[in-house]
């Protein structure tokens, strides 16, 4: 992803050096942004049962709907809150979090007794079974036994209604450790759901910046088109008066056609950017809002080490550590195979010659203990494998933490560079405006040609475009720095 951004930036710089007219950098930026944020394919899974509820703040969605219906002003904070709670990836993350919480409740359920109701119907002429079932039905008669052939009994039908309860008393720590693992997994899922929300908020904020830039660039190109059209009109009048050669007019008309192409492209990019913003906000892509102007990017003000230190609390890193803790407990689970397992079983039977009969009743209570004496070394191998996996996981998490620190450094440098570019671009605008003013005065005196005025106007539009790109990239870089460092987006927007 970073390589794609660098490649797009290189293409932008190269286009500036090759084009003599209005720069198309915002178009490149929009295309790069849309490729990154808009064209995403989601894979959704159906959730059966209809019992799961994902809470989405109704006030946030109502604000977006009302803004779209009444063309009210939508702020960057509104978009961030809506994406954080209502985007599809956030809803999916909340669903996974609920699933993890249910698995924790499932693990805790293994500590409680299990109760099973069973109905059994048997018809047999096996001598042993006929004798046993006759006793269980409490229909045994010694006289009947003496007058019949026990080896060839008449077939007997028996119905058994059985209620059985079992309670694990000791499992070698397996059940309790599984509960700990499920708890870590549930905490990790909750943290990941929060991190997905921050990522959705980041994508929505960048989409907001993209819309602001696309609309401002559209207005800029529209203004440039009006300026070029005015110069074409002046040139045509001078040609009619014989004060200007026709080739100058034709060159001005070529410039006007080129600006018309840029305007059409800018309008298309603005429409796509608005659809992308609606998509990131979890709204229909046809919805439109009037956007509040972007706040001016603030200075970083803090050293890079402060940003790196705050990244240690990132939710995805905390989730990885919880997952590592769950993995480290796997060795303890596997070690339970070397301990005996003890359970208590209670059973009550009602036996008759038909199903659901109640003629005879009996109860049984059993204490069962089992231990695995030899399994060919498989249990020891499982324990060793779990320990090695835990060690590998620890290295992965450590590398992940180092990668986050590097990511923060990159984001910090990008934010600083974008801020410096913005300041430089603002200074260049003042110089370009003065050049345009002087050139127009010289044109009025007949010293310079029409194309000289067009070149001066083009240079001013180029400077304004560079400032627009630099300001948008500075804001986007600051927003990204806040997210990758684990801070709240609202902190950098105040």
Per DSSP, the three-state class of 320 is: helix
Per DSSP, the three-state class of 343 is: strand
pLDDT of residue 106 exceeding 90: yes
Q: What confidence score (pLDDT) does residue 441 get?
A: 81
What percent of the chain has pLDDT above 90?
A: 45
Cβ-count burial of 203 within 10 angstroms (0-12 exposed, 13-18 middle, 19+ buried)? buried
What Rg value do the Cα atoms of the chain yield, rounded?
38
Q: What confidence score (pLDDT) does residue 329 get?
A: 95
Q: How far apart are CA 347 and CA 6, in angstroms?
A: 71
Q: What is the mean pLDDT of residues 12-35?
A: 33
pLDDT of residue 29 exceeding 70: no
Angle between helices 25-37 and 246-280 (to 10 degrees): 20
246-278 per-position pLDDT tens digit: 887 888 888 889 889 989 999 999 999 999 998
Residue 190 structure tokens: 């909750």
How does the average pLDDT of the chain come out, rounded?
81
Q: How far apart are CA 430 and CA 420, in angstroms?
A: 16
pLDDT of residue 8 exceeding 70: no
Domain boundaries, the chain: 2-113+171-493
Measured from the Cβ of residue 31, the count of other Cβ atoms closer than 10 Å reads 16
Q: What confidence score (pLDDT) does residue 72 get?
A: 64
Please report the DSSP string for 183-251 in residue order.
HHHHHHHHHHHHHHHHHHHHHHHHHHHHHHHHHHHHHHHHHHHHHHHHHHHHHHHHHHTTSS-HHHHHH
Q: What is the mean pLDDT of residues 26-51?
A: 33
Q: How far apart are CA 352 and CA 162, in angstroms?
A: 12
204-254 per-position pLDDT tens digit: 999 998 998 888 888 888 888 887 888 788 778 878 887 777 887 888 888
Which range is most confident: 93-102, 244-253, 453-462? 93-102
pLDDT of residue 122 exceeding 50: yes
Report which of residues 189 and 460 the model is more confident about.
Answer: 189
pTM metric for this prediction: 0.72
The correct CATH number of 2-113+171-493 out of 2.40.37.10, 3.90.1150.10, 3.40.50.720, 1.20.1600.10 is 1.20.1600.10
Q: What is the mean pLDDT of residues 412-417?
A: 91
Angle between helices 246-280 and 174-240 (to 10 degrees): 160
Q: 64-68, 333-337, 396-400: which has the minimum mean pLDDT?
A: 64-68
Q: What confidence score (pLDDT) does residue 35 get?
A: 35
pLDDT of residue 426 exceeding 90: no
Pairing relation of β-strands 290-291 and 73-74? parallel
Report which of residues 127 and 297 the model is more confident about.
Answer: 127
pLDDT band at residue 439, thresholds of 50, 70 and 90? confident
Q: What confidence score (pLDDT) does residue 160 get?
A: 96
pLDDT of residue 98 exceeding 50: yes
Q: How far apart are CA 302 and CA 411, in angstroms?
A: 13
Q: How far apart are CA 273 and CA 262, in angstroms?
A: 16
Which range is most confident: 92-106, 218-232, 281-295? 92-106
Cβ-count burial of 3 within 10 angstroms (0-12 exposed, 13-18 middle, 19+ buried)? exposed
Q: Which residue has the tokens 């919880």?
A: 322
Of 299, 302, 301, 275, give the one whose Cα is nearest residue 287.
275
Is residue 312 within 8 A of residue 401, CB to CB? The reply is yes
Cβ-based neighbours of 34, under 8 Å, separated by 6 or more: 210, 269, 272, 273, 276
What percent of the chain has pLDDT above 70?
A: 85
Q: What confidence score (pLDDT) does residue 355 get?
A: 93
pLDDT of residue 475 exceeding 70: yes
Is residue 213 within 8 A of residue 418, CB to CB? The reply is no
Cβ-based neighbours of 309, under 8 Å, separated by 6 or more: none
Cβ-count burial of 30 within 10 angstroms (0-12 exposed, 13-18 middle, 19+ buried)? buried
Q: What confidence score (pLDDT) does residue 58 get?
A: 39
446-457 per-position pLDDT tens digit: 777 766 777 787
Of 471, 387, 361, 385, give the one whose Cα is nearest residue 423.
471
Q: What is the mean pLDDT of residues 123-145?
A: 90
* Count of residues making up the chain: 494
């Amino acid at each position: 992803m970073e390589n794609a951004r660098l490649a797009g930036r290189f293409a932008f710089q190269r286009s500036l050096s090759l084009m003599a007219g209005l720069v198309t950098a915002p178009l490149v930026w929009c295309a790069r942004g849309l490729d990154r944020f808009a064209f995403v394919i989601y894979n959704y899974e159906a959730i059966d049962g209809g019992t799961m509820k994902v809470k989405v703040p109704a006030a946030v969605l109502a604000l977006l709907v009302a803004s779209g219906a009444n063309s009210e002003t939508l702020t960057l904070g509104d978009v961030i809150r809506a994406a954080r709670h209502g985007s599809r990836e956030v809803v999916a993350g909340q669903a996974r979090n609920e699933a993890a919480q249910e698995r924790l409740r499932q693990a805790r359920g293994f500590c409680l007794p299990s109760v099973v109701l069973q109905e059994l119907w048997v018809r047999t002429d096996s001598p042993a079974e006929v004798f046993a079932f006759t006793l269980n039905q409490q229909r045994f008669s010694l006289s009947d036994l003496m007058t019949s052939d026990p080896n060839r009994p008449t077939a007997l039908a028996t119905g058994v209604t059985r209620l059985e309860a079992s309670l694990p008393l000791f499992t070698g720590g397996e059940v309790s450790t599984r509960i700990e693992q499920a708890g870590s997994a549930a905490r990790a899922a909750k943290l990941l759901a929060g991190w997905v929300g921050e990522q959705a908020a980041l994508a929505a904020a960048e989409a907001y910046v993209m819309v602001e830039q696309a609309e401002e660039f559209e207005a800029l190109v529209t203004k440039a088109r009006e300026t070029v059209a005015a110069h074409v009109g002046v040139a045509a009048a001078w040609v009619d008066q014989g004060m200007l050669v026709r080739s100058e007019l034709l060159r001005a008309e070529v410039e006007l056609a080129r600006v018309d192409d840029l305007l059409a492209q800018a309008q298309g990019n603005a429409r796509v950017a608005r659809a992308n913003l609606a998509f990131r906000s979890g709204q229909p892509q046809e919805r439109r809002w009037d956007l509040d102007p972007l706040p001016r990017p603030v200075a970083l003000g803090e050293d890079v080490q402060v940003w790196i230190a705050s990244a240690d609390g990132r939710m995805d890193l905390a989730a990885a550590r919880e997952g590592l803790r769950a993995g480290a407990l796997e060795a303890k689970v596997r070690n339970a195979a070397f301990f005996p397992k003890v359970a208590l079983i209670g059973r009550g039977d009602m036996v008759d010659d038909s199903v659901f009969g109640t003629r005879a009743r009996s109860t049984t209570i059993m204490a069962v203990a089992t231990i695995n004496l030899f399994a060919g070394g498989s249990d020891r191998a499982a324990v060793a494998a779990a320990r090695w996996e835990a060690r590998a996981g620890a290295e992965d998490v450590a590398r992940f933490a180092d990668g986050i620190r590097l990511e923060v450094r990159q984001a910090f440098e990008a934010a600083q560079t974008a801020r410096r570019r913005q300041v430089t671009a603002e200074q260049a605008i003042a110089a370009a405006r003065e050049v345009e003013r002087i050139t127009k005065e010289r044109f009025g005196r007949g010293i310079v040609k029409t194309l000289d005025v067009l070149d001066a106007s083009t240079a001013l539009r180029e400077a304004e475009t560079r400032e627009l790109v630099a300001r948008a990239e500075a804001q986007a870089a600051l927003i990204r720095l806040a997210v990758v460092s684990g801070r709240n987006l609202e902190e950098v927007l105040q």
